[in-house]
């Protein structure tokens, strides 16, 4: 639906009032692009800005923000829930959705005022766009050139599978794959296969270890008994080592392992697992850079909107409207506020970007001590672009969170141990305290700590085909029993045989508890 721009725009202004038409929007986009490219020197993909309705925005929500997506009941369920909540006023809609693709697609709602359109174009089409194109995680794990074509293939392929094998059969595989999507990503680059020279060196190290750990007390055992025990143990270890080498264990990517090795899975089922894990991998960098990505976009839209005002291209009224929107985005509730639910990634990210800018142009002696490489270099934009390219959330916090910002945001560290009846203030505002707070906050953003660490560690492929999954517990945090049972059931459903889940302590390696799922459980579920 086309909106009509106000006809009484003051000379030199891009717009006046709240209304807009596509000519006004195009002129505003061009002015924003000029600042982003020529002043901020951002490196972005070509932009494609789509103006959509609120219902289309809800639809984009339901399909995880992608313009193309296969059909699944969970998407429809989410659409109905969000639609009801929105119509009743219980929740609002995002100002925009942006897609990491080439061209970079940004969705903006037609209900937005022209000031809001300017804000979201600066935020998404240039802020997020630059971050997507330049951050090393997105370069390593995503393919902006091919994602839209791949989604088109996925949608067609799953539709064909529904026609050929039945809707229920496809839905059964998708349900299990979606449940395991969080455990269907590669967190690290896989090492190359060892060559023959490395195998020989490994054998030498093994022989050396056996010589060093030889114990003469073994001679006191009856020879036959000792020989039998030694032989059985050696054979067991050799079989386990062979299996682990054959299957590349331990394997962190459960969907990849099941896709490649599930004994009775059909080819079309394996392809569906591959589709789901590729989509999960596409989103994995976004989970590791949420705070940085939003901080980058907020910094960019703030700089661009201020530049538009300084150039006389937007009015004071438009600037006040922008400040209102911006303030709501970067609002941070105090720890004792009922609205507090942790650090707002927009607030923390924007504050850190602004603080780095300050350190570069107006450092204190404290800044020079903590950040000697960047303090006073008078190159804030280049410093930020370097950081946006080479860090993720936890490493960015460890490197750039300053004592001043910790004081400004009133950060403190509380130790809450289950073994102690009392809370303890673990860090105060001194050098050691600042470092403790910074490490603790970085750890909160470390996805390897926040998400369950589950890996395939063994499989008895020549026996009963039992699959062994290991969950490593950090800080005493256990899997919730009912969810663990459901996850184990989905793994067993795809594997087709029994599955054992072992929980081990991260510090000691001790097996804490064990859970089994058998083919009988699969048949009864």
**Domain range summary for the chain, segments of one domain joined by +:** 13-186+194-206+235-330, 331-449, 452-523
pLDDT tens digit string along 24-36?
A: 999 999 999 999 9
Mean pLDDT of 187-207: 52
Euclidean distance between CA atoms 190 and 192, whole angstroms: 7
Name beta bridge partners: 106: 49, 98
Give the other-Cβ count within 10 Å of 225's Cβ: 9
Q: How far is CA 181 from the centre of its chain?
A: 12
414-470 residue pLDDT tens? 876 666 666 767 666 778 889 999 999 999 888 877 788 888 988 887 778 889 998
pLDDT digits (tens, 9 = 90+) for 499-519: 998 888 877 778 888 888 887
Q: Output the average pLDDT for the chain.
A: 82
Whether pLDDT at 118 is above 90: yes
Model confidence, pTM? 0.82
In this prediction, residue 439 carries a pLDDT of: 92
- For the chain, give the percent of residues with pLDDT over 90: 44
Q: What is the largest CA-CA distance in the chain?
A: 104
pLDDT tens digit string along 2-12? 444 444 456 68
- What whole-number distance in Å separates Cα of residue 216 and Cα of residue 230? 14
Strands 453-459 and 511-517: unpaired
What does the pLDDT look like over 67-80, one tens digit per residue?
667 676 565 555 55
Taking 80 as the threshold, does the pLDDT of residue 294 lie above it?
Answer: yes
Q: Do 363 and 371 touch, CB atoms closer than 8 A?
A: yes
CB within 8 A of 456, min separation 6: which ones? 247, 249, 250, 251, 254, 257, 467, 468, 469, 470
pLDDT surpassing 80 at residue 255: yes
What pLDDT band is residue 63 in, cutting at 50, 70 and 90?
low
pLDDT higher for 247 or 30? 30
The DSSP code sequence of 393-459 is HHHHHHHH--HHHHHHTT--EEE--TT-SS-EEEE-SSHHHHHHHHHHHHHHT-HHHHS-EEEEEEE
CB 247 within 8 Å of CB 232: no
pLDDT higher than 70, residue 177: yes
More confident residue, 310 or 218: 310
Segment of 60-64, 248-252, 387-391 carrying the highest mean pLDDT:
387-391
The runs of H, that is alpha helices, within 166-266 are 167-179, 196-212, 223-247, 254-261
pLDDT > 70 in the chain, percent:
77
Q: Does domain 452-523 have CATH number 3.40.1350?
A: yes
Residue 202: pLDDT band by 50, 70, 90 thresholds?
Answer: low
Which tokens belong to 525?
A: 């579920």
The more confident residue out of 35 and 54 is 35
Backbone angles phi and psi of 98, in degrees to 5 = -125, 145
Measure the CA–CA gap between 436 and 442, rounded to whole angstroms: 10
Q: Is 205 exposed, middle or buried (0-12, 13-18, 19+ CB in 10 A)?
A: exposed
pLDDT tens, position by position, 433-447: 899 999 999 998 888
Cis? peptide before 201, omega within 30° of 0:
no
Q: What is the pLDDT of residues 366-413, one digit of tens each?
A: 999 999 999 999 999 999 999 999 999 999 999 999 999 999 998 888
Query: Residue 484 has which token pair?
Result: 């663990």
Q: Give the pLDDT confidence score for residue 516 in this predicted structure.
A: 87
Q: How confident is the model at residue 230 (pLDDT cuts 50, 70, 90)?
A: low
Residue 65 pLDDT > 80:
no
Instruction: Report residue 506 as tokens.
Output: 């991260």
Instruction: Give the gyration radius of the chain's Cα atoms.
Output: 28
Q: Residue 64: is its pLDDT beyond 60?
A: no
Range 155-174 average pLDDT: 92
71-92 mean pLDDT: 54
């Amino acid at each position: 639906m086309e909106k009509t721009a106000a006809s009484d725009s003051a000379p030199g202004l891009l717009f006046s009032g709240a209304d807009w038409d596509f000519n006004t929007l195009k002129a505003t986009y061009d002015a924003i692009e000029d600042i982003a490219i020529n002043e901020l020197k951002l490196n972005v993909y070509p932009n494609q800005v789509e103006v959509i309705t609120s219902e289309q925005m809800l639809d984009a929500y339901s399909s995880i923000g992608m313009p193309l997506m296969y059909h699944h009941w969970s998407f429809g369920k989410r659409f109905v829930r969000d639609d009801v909540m929105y119509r009743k006023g219980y929740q609002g809609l995002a100002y925009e959705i942006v897609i990491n693709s080439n061209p970079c697609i940004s969705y903006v709602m037609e209900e937005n005022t022209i000031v809001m359109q300017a804000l979201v174009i600066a935020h998404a089409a240039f802020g997020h766009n630059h971050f997507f194109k330049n951050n090393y995680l997105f370069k390593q794990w995503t393919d902006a050139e091919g994602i839209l074509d791949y989604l088109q293939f996925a949608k067609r392929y799953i539709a064909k599978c529904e026609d050929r094998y039945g809707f229920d059969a496809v839905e059964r595989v998708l349900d299990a794959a979606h449940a395991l999507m969080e455990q269907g990503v590669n967190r690290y680059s896989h090492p190359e296969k060892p060559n023959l020279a490395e195998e020989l060196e490994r054998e030498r190290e093994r022989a050396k270890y056996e010589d060093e750990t030889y114990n003469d007390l073994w001679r006191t055992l009856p020879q036959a008994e000792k020989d039998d025990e030694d032989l059985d143990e050696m054979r067991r270890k050799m079989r386990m080592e062979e299996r682990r080498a054959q299957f590349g264990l331990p394997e962190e990517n459960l969907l990849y392992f099941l896709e490649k090795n599930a004994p009775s899975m059909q080819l079309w089922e394996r392809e569906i697992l591959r589709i789901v894990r590729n989509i999960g991998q596409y989103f994995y960098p976004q989970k590791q850079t949420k705070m940085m990505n939003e901080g980058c976009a907020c910094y960019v839209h703030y700089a661009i909107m201020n530049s538009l005002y300084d150039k006389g291209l937007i009015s004071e009224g438009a600037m006040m409207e922008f400040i209102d929107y911006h303030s709501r985005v970067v609002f941070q509730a105090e720890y004792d506020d009922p609205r507090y639910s942790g650090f707002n990634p927009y607030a923390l990210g924007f504050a850190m970007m602004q603080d780095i800018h300050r350190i570069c142009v107006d450092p204190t002696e404290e800044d020079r001590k903590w950040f000697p490489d960047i303090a006073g270099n008078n190159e804030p934009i280049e410093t930020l672009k370097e950081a946006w390219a080479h860090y993720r959330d936890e490493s960015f916090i460890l490197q750039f969170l300053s004592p001043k910002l910790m004081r400004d945001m009133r950060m403190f560290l509380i130790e809450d141990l289950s073994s102690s009846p009392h809370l303890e203030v673990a860090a105060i505002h001194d050098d050691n305290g600042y470092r403790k707070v910074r490490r603790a906050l970085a750890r909160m953003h470390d996805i390897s700590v926040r998400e369950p660490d589950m890996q395939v560690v063994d499989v008895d492929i020549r026996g009963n085909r039992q699959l062994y999954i290991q969950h490593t517990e950090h800080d005493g945090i256990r899997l919730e029993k009912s969810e663990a049972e459901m996850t184990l059931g989905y793994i067993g459903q795809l594997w087709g045989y029994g599955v054992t889940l072992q929980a081990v302590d991260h510090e000691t390696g001790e097996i804490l508890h064990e859970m089994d799922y058998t083919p009988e459980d699969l048949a009864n579920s």
